[in-house]
Amino acid sequence: MSHLIKKGSLLRFHGGITKLALVSFIVAVAAAFIDTIWIIFVKQFIHNDAYIGFFSGILTCISLVSLFLIIPIIERGHKERLYMFALCMVIVSYIVFSFVKSFYVFIIFSVVLTLAANLRISSFGILVRDNSKKKVLAKNEGIVYTFFNTGWFIGPLLAGFLALRFGNRGVFLIASLFVFMALILFWQFGIKDGNVKKKADTNVLKNFFDFFKNRKRVVAYFLGGGISCWWVLIYLFVPLFIYDKGYNILWVSGFLFAVVLPNILFTYPAASLANRIGFKKIFFIGFLILGTSAFLCFLSNDFYFILGALILAGFGTAMVESTCESYFFDISKGNEPYRFYSAYNTTIDVGHLIAKFIPSLALLFFPFKFVFLIFSIFMFSYMILSLFTERIVEGKKR
């Protein structure tokens, strides 16, 4: 993050963006705590690796449907209030998980947490967009994601030690405290969003079909699913891979700690580069790096080489994570972001569905290494799709 602070560069950003970035950092630390121990926690209720993938996929289906249902809520509601409500839902869910033993309660609050994540992501994305000038949107997305990824960098390492000291249930409680701190901080910052529509688009099916009538949005939609697809490999299948090799939680936390480092170092420079040369080249190179890394993992049987290749692949994720969302906002006109942003965010769940169900099916019949082959095919497909994006250079806008 040093490149953001040198010569006061951080201070040149809009005040609302730096505040949102700080809140996103704290929330990311808490989320990283949970994702680090989530697989071990779920294994208390579901013992088969493939079934864990299917369960995660079912939650994704629920998430996919809910994103369309919350479109009128996003349009008509004050985004800052929706964001705070979502954080409250997260806090309650984490507290329940800290003591739950019932399988059915676990299922119910897994759904609650899924719904809260959708509301949080959709409202926060609009807040970032509305606190940014369009000419520097990619840069502002870059700074927010840099703070966000810093949280995901610190969180896993702390989670490993906290899990050993306090157990998984203690990690849930500590994570709830972090989210509560983010909630209080956000409230104190007084961030507002005045773009509220009196009449919302409540026809869910019409919103869905209208979204896909525009070719530019269709390309942006499927391209945006690429990064969420990749993170399923990192946060679901790689931890399973590490545990199956006989390594403990510290190895998982150490890997998840290291895998985010390239994102911290390169997200803002990549966003700035996209601002100068356009999105298409950034997308192509980013997905090329990811596809190549996954394919090398498929070819190798060396445990340490595989982890190393996946860590270095983080330079690819840094190039596409924040820029995909910036690209969507840049091709959207007028009030389209408010109507279609939740619909666009379903690309996260589509990417998750693809990345969870297909590899989970493969695990029923093939060795684990074929998971890497599947993900390499995914990433090369997104690389080809990036060639169909529009040539947009934010830095040349007036």
Pick from 328, 157, 134: nearest CA to 227: 328
124 near 84, Cβ under 8 Å? Answer: no
Q: Which residues contact 124 (CB under 8 A, 6 or more apart)?
A: 20, 24, 79, 83
Q: What is the distance between the alpha carbons of residues 37 and 169, in angstroms, rounded to a whole number?
A: 10
Angle between helices 279-299 and 369-385 (to 10 degrees): 160
- Within 10 angstroms of residue 258's Cβ, the number of other Cβ atoms is 18
Residues in the chain: 398
Residue ranges per structural domain of the chain: 15-192+204-396
Tell me, what's the pLDDT at 174? 92
Rounded-to-integer distance, Cα 161 and Cα 284, Å = 38
pLDDT score for 155: 84
CATH number of this structure's domain 15-192+204-396, picked from the four choices 3.40.50.2000, 3.20.20.80, 1.10.3720.10, 1.20.1250.20: 1.20.1250.20
pTM tops 0.95: no
Residues of the chain scoring pLDDT < 70: 1-15, 49, 71, 75-77, 131-139, 192-205, 207-208, 334-339, 342, 392-398
End-to-end Cα distance, the chain: 29
pLDDT cut 90: percent of the chain above it: 18
